[in-house]
RNA sequence: GCCACUGUAGCUCAGCGGCAGAGCGGCUGAUUCGUAAUCAGCAGGUCGGGGGUUCAAAUCCCUCCAGUGGCUCCA
């Protein structure tokens, strides 16, 4: 139907008129009729609702029309329809399965983390959760060492003036926690960048120091709106595998290409699927349009040169620069941003950063802000959903459990426990008060990657029966074989036990 | 923050104006067991907090807090 016709038909509906206006000039304005029902819609529609045998309502919620708060909310009712009841049942089964992988439920069952009503949005990490986060940090730090980073630690609170310089005061204040000390206003840092800028500026810098790479794993605080909080994936306090690279114009491309390589390597280790987005200049931006255009073009050129498929997210850049964002999805398919590479010409200028070049002149460096896994908390949340809590052995809080069949096998079990502890494994020994079947079941429920059973046969033959997570069969190995095998799987950061 | 919904034992949930329950977990005892739950007993609760209606409130109403699903926003 023509645009004019549509506008006439929906003349009394301001929302529909707005949709019609938003349809780009070249595209067709489509309109559907199903029985007595008619509507403006991008479509397609089923020709007849009789085609839908299995119908299920998923829920309803308010949506804010025109993307503005304060406007009258509309109610959205969401549901799904399938040609057959069986297809609907299958869909609901898959959905229930996905819900069972919810990281919030797994976090509680596996005693990884918890939340207190008295501190909404601030995760409390239990002993098991700390083990996993420490291993993730170790994984990242190994790379930092290889790639020539230095690690810094800067203050959690900065005076207002620092944020005025960085631009956060004008562009990010509503997301910040503020504290008044001795009549001065301090802000809890929402990002690490100001601290790194100040360290760079703390003394004279030479071009010989560049690229200068400062990593920082400090807790960040962001006052997220209460309704947006979500388990570990959206919190008010978190730690990122953050770093700031101070580079010359020529060093931008090799540095970013190296980062893209590392992203692929890092995410492959977890068998995650990820996607790239190029986020461009937002409405609320710092600096000159030309500088932004150049920065966006640089990122786009590097993406193309690296043969990477990406989507463009117009206006989604940070207030100080465009960025390449990495997204991964949770068990219900909701996308979460993890890694990001941001090209920043603004903060170096605003902080007055300079280095002396080979020409003897002072130059302003460019800063690349980058995180790979993003927030460790969010990453753990998505990883739990991705694995259903079956973390790779190198991340598992309990890597192995020794199960003596009866009390008489206890001495041998203790010996094995000691040996594996010597090897650096996180290993436990169960008592024999519970039946072996029950202990095997518990270990599966707790997602322990390796079960080591010792009975008469094993003790006599100085062997161990190894049952790996998810397998119903046991393999008999000698102790040296077992130790070598476990150590190797963990050392290589194998995804499966 | 906005709209809707939900908060009962450590966990999962039943009860929905008339005596606060189950399973799992915990504790105690018995059982010593060969790869996904051995048996028995016991303990455990200001029914999220506060206020109201009622002879009587876990149950009805108001309010605050927290959570869930979306929306807006974002690592």
pLDDT band at A377 (very low <50, low <70, confident <90, very high): very high
Which residue's CA is nearest to the C1' of nucleotide B25?
A109
Q: Find tokens 């950063």 and name the residue.
A: A353
Contact of A190 with A172, CB cutoff 8 Å = yes
Nucleotide nearest to A435 (CA to C1'): B33
pLDDT confidence band for A73 (50 / 70 / 90)? low
Q: Which three-class secondary structure state does DSSP give residue A398?
A: coil
A41 catalytic residue (yes or no): no
- Point out the catalytic residue in the list A327, A369, A447, A489: A369
pLDDT of residue A265: 96
Cβ–Cβ under 8 Å, residues A306 and A255 = no
Query: What is the distance in angstroms measured between the alpha-carbon CA of A447 and the sugar C1' of B7?
Result: 30
DSSP state of A133: H
| Residue labelled with tokens 């970013």 | A256
Measuring CA to CA, which residue among A479, A465, A495, A483 is closest to residue A424?
Answer: A483
Tokens at A109, concatenated:
């069952």
Nearest nucleotide to A190 by CA–C1' distance?
Answer: B75
pLDDT of residue A343: 95
B67: residue with closest CA to C1': A117
* C-alpha closest to that of A235 among A129, A141, A104: A104
Q: What confidence tens digit (pLDDT) does each residue in A441-484 have?
A: 999 999 999 999 999 999 999 999 999 999 999 999 999 999 99
Provide, in whole angstroms, the distance separating residue A234's CA from nucleotide B74's C1'.
8
Q: Which nucleotide is nearest to A62 (CA to C1')?
A: B3
In this prediction, residue A364 has a pLDDT band, given cuts at 50, 70 and 90, of very high
> Per-residue pLDDT averaged across A45-65, rounded?
76
Give the per-residue pLDDT at A64: 64
Q: Decide which of A31 and A156 is more confident.
A: A156
Catalytic residue among A102, A168, A221, A242: A242
Of A39-53, A99-113, A228-242, A311-325, which range is least confident?
A39-53
Task: Say how far A224 CA is from B26 C1', in Å.
Answer: 38
Protein residue with the closest CA to the C1' atom of nucleotide B38: A435
User: Which tokens in the block code for residue A146?
Assistant: 């290889």
**Span A387-397, mean pLDDT?**
97
Measured CA to C1', the nucleotide nearest A61 is B70
Whole-number distance in Å between A409 CA and B15 C1'? 48
Q: Where do we find the tokens 């161990």?
A: A464
Comparing A66-70, A123-127, A130-134, the range with the smallest average pLDDT is: A66-70
Q: How far is the CA of A490 from the C1' of B33 (A)?
A: 32
**Minimum-distance residue to B3 (CA–C1'):** A62
Q: Which residue has the higher pLDDT, A67 or A64?
A: A64
Q: How far is the CA of A91 from the C1' of B36 (A)?
A: 27
Is A45 among the residues known to form the active site?
no
Mean pLDDT value across residues A76-89:
83
In this predicted structure, the answer to whether residue A68 has a pLDDT above a threshold of 60 is no
Residue nearest to nucleotide B48 (CA to C1'): A117
8 A C-beta contact, residue A406 and residue A432: yes
**Which nucleotide shows the minimum CA-to-C1' distance to residue A406?**
B32
Predicted confidence band of residue A92 (pLDDT cuts 50, 70, 90) = confident
- Predicted pLDDT at A21: 75
pLDDT-derived band at A69, boundaries 50, 70, 90: very low
A70 has pLDDT over 60: no
pLDDT top residue among A396 and A75: A396
pLDDT above 70 for A90: yes
Instruction: Name the closest nucleotide to A174, judged by C1' and CA.
Output: B73
Catalytic residue among A222, A281, A327, A386: A222
From the CA of A306, how many Å to the C1' of B21? 63
Q: Are A30 and A41 in contact (CB under 8 A)?
A: yes
Query: Which residue out of A234, A236, A281, A323 is catalytically annotated?
Result: A323
pLDDT value of position A67: 47
pLDDT at residue A331 tops 80? no
Intra-chain end-to-end CA distance of chain A, in Å: 59
Report the complex ipTM. 0.94
How much is the average pLDDT of A12-40? 76
What is the structure's pLDDT at A97?
A: 80
pLDDT at residue A65 in the model: 57
Q: Using the predicted structure, report yes or no on whether residue A304 has a pLDDT greater than 60.
A: yes
Q: Which nucleotides of B are covered by protein (CB under 7 A)?
A: 1-4, 7, 11-12, 30-38, 65-75
Q: What's the mean pLDDT in A105-118?
A: 95
Render pLDDT for A205-230 as a digit per residue (tens, 0 to 9). 999 999 999 999 999 999 999 999 99
Segment A236-293, tens digit of pLDDT = 999 999 999 999 999 999 999 999 999 999 999 999 999 999 999 998 899 999 999 9
Q: How far is the CA of A284 from the C1' of B1 (A)?
A: 20
On average, the pLDDT of chain A sits at 91
Better-predicted residue by pLDDT, A424 or A9: A424
Which residue is closest to B31 in terms of CA–C1' distance? A433
Q: How sure is the predictor about A71, in pLDDT bands with cuts at 50, 70 and 90?
A: low
Task: Look at residue A298 in the predicted model and tell me its pLDDT.
Answer: 95
Active-site annotation holder among A244, A386, A401, A409: A244
A438 in catalytic set: no
Nearest 5°: the CA angle A188, A189, A191 is 160
Mean pLDDT along residues A396-416: 97
Give phi and psi for A459, each to the nearest 5. -65, -45
The closest nt to A64, taking CA to C1', is B71
CA dist., res. A87 & res. A69, Å (int): 38
Between A303 and A81, the higher pLDDT residue: A303
A319-CA/B23-C1' distance, Å: 54
Which has the closest alpha carbon to A74: A87, A88, A60?
A60
A51 contact partners, CB below 8 Å, separation of at least 6: A83
Residue A89 annotated in active site = no
Whole-number distance in Å between A445 CA and B47 C1': 30
Kindly tell me if the per-residue pLDDT of A309 is higher than 50. Answer: yes
Per the annotation, the verdict on A421 as an active-site residue is: no
Q: Any idea which nucleotide's C1' is nearest the CA of A444? A: B36
More confidently predicted of A73 and A357: A357
Exposed/middle/buried for residue A38 (C-beta within 10 Å: 0-12, 13-18, 19+): exposed
């Amino acid at each position: 139907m023509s645009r004019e016709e549509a506008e006439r038909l929906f003349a009394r509906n301001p929302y529909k008129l707005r949709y019609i206006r938003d349809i780009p000039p070249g595209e067709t304005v489509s309109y559907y009729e199903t029985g007595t029902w008619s509507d403006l819609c991008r479509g397609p529609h089923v020709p007849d609702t009789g085609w839908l045998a299995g119908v299920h309502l998923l829920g309803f919620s308010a949506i804010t029309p025109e993307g503005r708060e304060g406007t009258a909310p509309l109610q959205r009712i969401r549901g799904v329809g399938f040609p057959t009841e069986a297809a609907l049942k299958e869909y609901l089964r898959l959905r229930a399965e996905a819900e069972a992988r919810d990281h919030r439920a797994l976090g509680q069952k596996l005693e990884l983390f918890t939340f207190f009503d008295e501190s909404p949005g601030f995760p409390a990490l239990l002993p098991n959760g700390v083990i996993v986060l420490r291993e993730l940090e170790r994984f990242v730090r190994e790379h930092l060492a290889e790639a020539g980073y230095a690690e810094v630690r800067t203050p959690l609170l900065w005076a207002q003036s620092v944020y005025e310089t960085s631009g956060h005061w004008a562009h990010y204040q509503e997301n910040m926690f503020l504290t008044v000390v001795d009549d001065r206003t301090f802000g809890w840092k929402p990002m690490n960048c100001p601290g790194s800028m100040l360290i760079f500026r703390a003394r004279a810098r030479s071009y010989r120091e560049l690229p200068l790479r400062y990593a920082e794993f400090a807790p960040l605080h962001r006052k997220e709106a209460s309704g947006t909080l979500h388990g570990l994936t959206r919190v008010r306090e978190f730690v990122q595998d953050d770093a700031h690279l101070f580079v010359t114009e020529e060093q931008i491309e090799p540095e970013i290409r190296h980062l893209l390589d590392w992203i692929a390597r890092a995410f492959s280790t977890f068998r995650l699927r990820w996607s790239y987005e190029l986020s461009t200049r937002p409405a609320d931006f710092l600096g000159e349009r030309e500088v932004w255009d150049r920065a966006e073009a640089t990122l786009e050129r590097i993406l193309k040169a690296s043969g990477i498929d990406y989507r463009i997210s117009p206006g989604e850049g940070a207030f100080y620069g465009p960025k390449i964002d990495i997204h991964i999805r949770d068990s219900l398919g909701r996308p979460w941003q993890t890694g990001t590479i941001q090209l920043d010409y603004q903060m170096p200028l605003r902080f007055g950063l300079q280095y002396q070049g080979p020409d003897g002149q002072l130059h302003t460096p460019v800063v690349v802000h980058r995180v790979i896994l993003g927030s460790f908390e969010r990453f753990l949340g998505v990883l739990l959903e991705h694995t259903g809590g079956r973390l790779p052995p190198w991340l598992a809080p309990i890597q192995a459990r020794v199960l003596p069949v009866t009390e008489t096998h206890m001495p041998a079990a203790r010996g094995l426990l000691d040996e594996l502890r010597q090897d650096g494994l996180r290993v436990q020994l169960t008592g024999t008060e519970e039946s072996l079947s029950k202990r095997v079941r518990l270990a599966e429920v707790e997602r322990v990657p390796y079960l080591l059973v010792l009975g008469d046969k094993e003790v006599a033959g100085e062997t161990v029966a190894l049952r790996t997570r998810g397998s119903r069969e046991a393999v008999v190995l000698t102790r040296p074989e077992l130790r070598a095998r476990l150590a190797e799987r963990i050392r290589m950061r194998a995804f499966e036990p």
